[in-house]
Amino acid sequence: MKNRRFLLAGLLVALLIAGVGSYYASSHPDGLNYVAEQTGFIEHEKKPVDTGSPFQGYSTEGVHDARLSGGIAGVAGVLLTLGIGGGLFWVLRRRTPAEQRD
Amino acid sequence: MHVPDGFLDAPTSVATGVVAAVGVGLALGKARSELDDRTAPMAGLVAAFVFAGQMINFPVGAGTSGHLLGGALAAVLVGPWTGMLCISVVLLVQGLFMADGGLTALGTNITLMGVVGVVVGYGVFRLALAVLPKRVRSVPLAAAVGALVSVPTAAAAFSLLFAIGGTADIAPGKVFAAMVGWHVVIGIGEAIITGLVISAVVASRPDLVRGARGLAGRRTLVTEEVSA
Measured between CA atoms, the residue of chain A closest to residue B181 is A31
Domain-embedded: residue B206: yes
Residue B61: which pLDDT band, with cuts at 50, 70 and 90? confident
**What integer pLDDT is reported at residue A2 of this predicted model?**
82
A23 close contact with B: CB closer than 8 A: no
Domain-embedded: residue B32: yes
Domain-embedded: residue B228: no
Tell me the C-alpha distance between B49 and A100, whole Å: 28
The number of folded domains in chain B is: 1
Extents of the domains making up chain A = 1-25+66-96
In this complex, the residue of B4, B44, B92 whose CB is nearest that of residue A46 is B4
Domain-embedded: residue B79: yes
Quote the domain boundaries for residue B126: 10-212
A31 close contact with B: CB closer than 8 A: yes
Domain-embedded: residue B1: no
In this complex, the residue of B2, B56, B204 whose CB is nearest that of residue A22 is B56
Mean pLDDT confidence for B55-63: 93
Contacts of B10 in chain A (CB under 8 A): none
Contacts of A84 in chain B (CB under 8 A): 47, 89, 92-93
pLDDT over threshold 70, residue A58: yes
Residue B228: which pLDDT band, with cuts at 50, 70 and 90? low
A2 close contact with B: CB closer than 8 A: no
Q: What one-character-per-residue DSSP string does chain B give?
A: --PPTTSB-HHHHHHHHHHHHHHHHHHHHHGGGG--TTHHHHHHHHHHHHHHHHT--EEEETTEEE----HHHHHHHH-HHHHHHHHHHHHHHHHHHS--S-STTHHHHIIIIIIIHHHHHHHHHHHHHHHS-SSTTHHHHHHHHHHHHHHHHHHHHHHHHHHHHBSS---HHHHHHHHHHHHHHHHHHHHHHHHHHHHHHHHH-GGG-GGGTTTSSS----------
Measured between CA atoms, the residue of chain B closest to residue A50 is B99
Domain-embedded: residue B23: yes
Contacts of A3 in chain B (CB under 8 A): 38, 41
Domain-embedded: residue B102: yes
Domain-embedded: residue B218: no
Is the CB of A34 less than 8 angstroms away from the CB of B64?
Answer: yes
pLDDT over threshold 80, residue B101: yes
Mutation target for B interface from A16, A17, A30: give the one with most B CBs within 10 A: A30
B83-111 burial string, b = 16+ CB within 10 Å, else e? bbbbbbbbbbbbbbbbbbbbbbbbbbbbb
Write the CATH number for B75.
1.10.1760.20
Is the CB of A14 less than 8 angstroms away from the CB of B85?
Answer: no
**What integer pLDDT is reported at residue B62 of this predicted model?**
81
ipTM above 0.85, yes or no: yes
pLDDT over threshold 70, residue B223: no
Is the CB of B103 less than 8 angstroms away from the CB of A48?
Answer: yes
Mean pLDDT confidence for A28-48: 95
